[in-house]
Amino acid sequence: MPTFFHDALAGHRSGREEHRMLFVGRLSKGDRRELRRVLRHAKPPFSFRARLLMLSADGFSVPAISRMLGCCRRSVRRWIHAFRSCGLLGLIGPWRGRPSKGILFSAMAASRPSRLVPAVPLSVPEIRRLLDRLALSPDKDKEYVLHWSAFRRYKQALAMACHYERRGATPPKFEQVRL
């Protein structure tokens, strides 16, 4: 008869498969040298990733690395998998943050065909905003400013139509603009 509860469960499997610990594995001399260089000279996100990979190569487990570095285990696993699949290029990772407005607008314009949408007529504040951004600030991208003006007027038309429909009235006819 077993003396302790864990002795009784020693031969019992819980239904989950046993997983091997996730490690980077043995690093080549060149990889280890490059990770040390990144650790000393690179920006914080890259040095963080290099430190994480060095700890994994030294035999620390994913939970231990996450506790040492103060991050979640998912981040540790993600960067270990990225390194194992792509090598040192896996340290670069995907682009983070919001792209600049010019890049955002050109990507948005290229991905979507233009369409006609309802829009409220130009108001005095909207005309002032357009005048300020187009004539008085020539460094602004004109296509971008005009697109956002049309988008703002389109959203106002949707809100106005919803307002009328909630009250059981017929919404007014709106002009159509290309968005």
d(CA 90, CA 112): 31
Average pLDDT, rounded, for the chain: 78
pLDDT confidence band for 156 (50 / 70 / 90): very high
Q: What is the pLDDT of residues 77-125, one digit of tens each?
A: 988 888 888 788 777 766 555 555 554 445 545 555 577 888 999 999 9
pLDDT value at residue 67:
92
Residue indicated by tokens 């007529």: 121
Are the CB atoms for 80 and 23 separated by under 8 Å?
yes
d(CA 116, CA 108): 16
Q: How many CB atoms lie within 10 A of CB 53?
A: 28
Domain ranges of the chain: 18-91, 101-178
> Span 158-175, mean pLDDT?
90
> Span 8-36, mean pLDDT?
67
Whether the pLDDT of residue 14 is over 70: the answer is no
pLDDT value at residue 81:
87
